[in-house]
């Protein structure tokens, strides 16, 4: 089964932080955006394995993100 999750990347002093919107416990960092993507996929795979071993229900993906412009 193929699922899709929404990744959020934030620039930090040491590079990038990546987190899944639907599954906030899946979080990681990387020096570059590409490294962070790779690390986030690895963290997701590990979390899926842990949830399966514990017979826990995994969060459903497919979030819709939208940027809302606002004058500040």
Return mean pLDDT, the chain.
92
Half-sphere exposure of 57 (CA within 13 A, CB side): 2
Record the pTM.
0.82
pLDDT, average across residues 51-57: 95
pLDDT of residue 61: 77
What's the CA gap between 15 and 28, in Å, rounded?
11
What's the CA gap between 1 and 71, in Å, rounded?
42
């Amino acid at each position: 089964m193929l699922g899709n999750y929404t990744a959020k990347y934030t620039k930090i002093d040491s590079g990038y932080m990546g987190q899944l919107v639907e599954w906030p416990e899946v979080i990681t960092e990387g020096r570059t955006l590409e490294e962070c993507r790779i690390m986030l996929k690895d963290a997701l795979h590990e979390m899926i394995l842990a949830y399966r071993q514990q017979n826990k229900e995994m969060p459903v993906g497919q979030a819709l993100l939208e940027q809302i412009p606002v004058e500040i």
